[in-house]
Every structure is written in C-alpha cells, then in structure tokens.
Chain A
C-alpha cells in the first residue's frame, strides 16, 4: 500500500464522518432539497470526466469522454438548478412570493 492511497483512505473516512455529522442536523422539512443538493455535489464527477480528456486518444476514449461529460454536466447543472428552484419555494409565515 503506498502513501498516497493511505492518505486518500484517511480523507475518505474523515469525510464520511463529517458528512454524517453535518447531515444529521438537517431537518426533515429539507430532506428533499438536501438529497437534491447532495445530488448536485456528486456532480463533481465532472472534474473526473474532464480529466479523461488528458489521456483520450482513440475512438473508445473519445466516446467514453463524451458520454461521461454529458452525464456529469447534466448532473451538475440540473442538480443545482432544481435545488435552487425548490429552496425558492420555502417561505416563512406571512411572507408572500
């Protein structure tokens, strides 16, 4: 096992713990926007999809790059827009849109 892998496993484990800590405080009212926001966050996979471009140099590579880019971009953009749309609807008593 190399040092980088071990460092990455450490980051993974600690991030899981941070995730549990932060997310268990979200009230049930916001669970759908939370899930949608989390959905948008996993759109960070776009970064990984973009990096395929560095090594793609044949047809298979380009096809993989294309599909991954479409999927990931759809995930990011759609996820954030729809979360924002939902959160716009939550209003306090008395305030009108």
Chain B
C-alpha cells in the first residue's frame, strides 16, 4: 500500500468510525431498552460515512456539474420516497417494506458493479472483475427476487407458490448462463455484451427463484434476501476498494444468515427444500391424520369466559391470523382485564408466528403489549403444564402435537406445547387447515374448546363475557 495523504487518511478513519458505530449499534440491539440508542448510533455512523464520501468527492474535484446535479437530485428523490414509505407503512406491512429496501439496496449495489465494469472499458483486472461480477449477480438476484417477494406479501402477486411447466428447465438454463457468462465476465474481457447478458440472467433468476415459494416460507425468504443484499454491498465494497462497504455488507450478510437459519430451523425445513418448493404446493404427502372424524367440543362465550375469568395463569398464543384480523388491540384488552383480575398473562410467540422474523412481537408492541410479556418458544414451553388456560388465536400448525410424531408434513417442526395446558381455548373461524394442510390434533383434544369466531369480534365478545360472568 502506498502512503496516504492526510486527507485520505482522515476519510478512511471516518469510515472506520462509521463501521464501529454499526457494530456497536447492532450490539445495543441485544435488549429492547437499549435498541433505540443502538439504531441512533448506527444512524450517526451512517451520517458520518456519507459526509466523508461527500467531502471526498468535493476534494477530488473530478465530478462534473451534471454528475453533482444528478447525484443530489437522485438522493433527494430517494430520501423522499424512503421517508414517506417508512412513515406511512402499517406494521402488518413491514415485511413488504423490508423486502422493498432489500430490493433497492441490492439494486444500488449491482449498479455500482455495472458502472465499474463499464468504466474500465477494455480489460478489467480480475481482482476487480470477479467481485464486480458477483456484485452484479447477487445484487441483481436480490433486486428482482425481493420485488417479487414484496409483491407476494402485498398481495399484488399471488402468495401461493407459482409453478409453471418447465420451471425447472428455465432455472437450470439461467443458472448455467449465470455460471458460464459469469466466468467470462470475471476474466474482465467480456465487455458490455457479457455484462448485459449476465445482468438480465441474474434478474430472471431472482424472479424464478422466488415465484415458486409459498407464503408460509416468507420469513425464510426475506431473511435470505437480506443476507444477499449484505453480500452484494460487500462485493460492491471490493469493487471500489471501500472498507466501510465491505464491513457493513458483511455485518448484514451475517445477520441475514443467522435469521435464515433460525427461521428454517423453526419450520424444520432445509433451505434447499424451501427454495425448491414450499408448503401448499399440493404435491406433498397425502393428508395424514389420526383424528379424522374425532369429535370437536364447541365452547360458548360464557363457558370460555368462566375458564378465563377464574384462571391464575393464562398463556395467549397469537398467530398471524390475529394480525390479519387486526385483533391485537382487542387481545391486549382481554389480557389486561385478566391481569386486573389477578391472573398472570404471557404471550407465547413461535419464531415463525408472523411474515418475517420477530414480526408478531412488533405487532403486539404496536398494540401496547409490554415486551416483558412476550416469551420465546424455549422460554414458555416448560410453563404450559402449569397453565390454567392456553388461548390460541389465529395460530395453527405451530401448535399441532402431530409434529412430535414422524410421518406427517409437520413432523419434527418445533411447536409450542399448548396441548400440555390444563385447558385450551382456540378462537378460529372454522376448522380450516393451516399451511401444512393437515388436521390439527389440538382441536380434537379432550381439554380443548373451540370458540368459532373472527378473532377481533371473538375477543371483544370474550372480554364482555368475562366482565359479565365475574361482575
């Protein structure tokens, strides 16, 4: 390495400071109490990094007036879009927004690679062409894949797995093009033609990868795409020789990687299995159930209210159905009423209870549920046997005791031990199946009472009934 000018050294030190803020910021997210400070610290680092880049461009005095205008205009428009979407988004729509930010981050990273390959017309050294190729491929796949994921979550594209005839062949061809042309681009001699083919193949591959993935697998997909964006940004850092991009990209890559693994484990599915085809494709093993035709006990509101009103310990098991019915507030009101009556109330949250990792916690936090009441699966499972009433709202497969046996679609999936509670109340609209498409044996358990209702209306009815029977 050559000696740096004082100016360059200062810029690099500021980048180091920014990277430090990112690491410390993430570290502070290990408790809800310090998380906000962590995010602010990370924001500070970002501001310093961007300011340093600005100073560097001014100092280099090589940017044309047009370049400056384009940059400032673009940044202003982007900031506006980001600010508006971040302020307006509903918490239920958070996965779509995170997916959208993944898309634009990956897209921006890919464009940096494209620009660099184009700027070095005629022979790019491999040490730049290789990371630039990876940047374009990973960034391109992330961009189109995240847009499809976002569209699926938003309901613009069907959330069901979309499998068209010959999909495997298309995927295989795209993968071959990515590898073959990728190797050519990486030598630095492919020129514009190779780059365009590679970029188009990457975009196509992203679409083809996410389309066949079903709604239930979204937490994994979002985590995976998050990891990809991070990696693409790190590759962009290699291309332009910028360490803060490499560090930040690697941090995000690690975070996405961990979350991907946690989510896949929580569904007891391998990543390959998810990417190749998900729940609800209809091609899984036939419906297996030991409970076909077993009687279901229907519970009236008053009976449910008596169970709840005189319980000492209640665990609420929320699923995405709760959020879909916008029933979080109704749920918290019932919980507060039970607490006022002296009951101990906790929420049991399965890792894949929402549409992205930790989504249910945010939805409950929005409804004013204190985070201390939200318990993770490992923490709450030993408490079910000491629980008077487990109230299941909108959760299905993650409570199915059949998961403990082999030979069915949910086998081996970690579940909440709801069936070990003394009494179980399930609020559900019908006896419909979850994503796994099998009967839930919990519903036919002798200690389970089914309260058939829409989550929001049902909770309001129960709250009123508890007040009435205990008045």
The residues of A with any CB-CB pair to B shorter than 8 Å are 1-5, 7-8, 11-13, 15-20, 22-57, 60-62, 64-97
Contacts and interface: CB of A to CB of B under 8 A. Distances in A.
A78 B85 contact: yes
Contacts of A5: 127, 238
Contacts of B376: 27-29
B256 to A, nearest CB: 7
Contacts of A93: 370, 372-373
B88 to A, nearest CB: 10
B221 to A, nearest CB: 12
Contacts of B67: 53-54, 56-57, 61-62, 65
B68 interface: yes
Contacts of A77: 78-79, 82-83, 86
A37 B29 contact: yes
B125 to A, nearest CB: 9
B18 A20 contact: no
Interface string B1-40: 1000000000000010011001101110111110110111
- Which of B22, B27, B243 has the most chain A CB atoms inside 10 A of its CB? B22
A69 B71 contact: yes
Interface residues of B, number: 120
B323 interface: no
Q: Is the interface of B mostly helix, strand, loop or mixed?
A: helix
A37 B98 contact: no
Interface string B213-257: 000000000110010011001101111111111111111111111
A34 B356 CA distance: 11
A61 B196 CA distance: 15
Contacts of B351: 28
8 contacts: A7-B1, A19-B26, A32-B358, A38-B251, A49-B112, A66-B71, A68-B108, A68-B111
Contacts of B307: none
A50 B250 contact: no
B74 A30 contact: no
A83 to B, nearest CB: 5
A62 to B, nearest CB: 5
B407 interface: no
B108 A32 contact: no
Contacts of B105: 39, 42-43, 45, 71-72, 75
Contacts of A67: 74, 107-108, 111
Nearest to B38: A37
Contacts of B94: 32, 36, 82, 86
A70 B83 CA distance: 12
B229 to A, nearest CB: 5
A74 B81 contact: yes
B115 interface: yes
Nearest to A81: B86
A16 B115 contact: no
B243 to A, nearest CB: 6
Given A29-B376, A69-B71, 16 more contacts: A12-B246, A15-B251, A19-B254, A32-B361, A33-B39, A35-B226, A37-B29, A38-B230, A40-B46, A41-B42, A42-B105, A47-B49, A62-B66, A73-B77, A90-B35, A92-B33
Contacts of A43: 46, 101, 105
Given A48-B112, A50-B53, A56-B67, A69 B74 contact: yes
Contact of B63 (A3, A30, A54): A54
Contact of A80 (B33, B43, B258, B368): B43
B253 A19 contact: yes
B26 A84 contact: no
Contacts of B35: 30, 33, 87, 90
Interface in B306-365: 349, 351, 354, 356-359, 361-362, 365
Given A31-B361, A36-B98, A90-B371, A69 B246 contact: no
B362 A86 contact: yes
Contacts of A24: 258
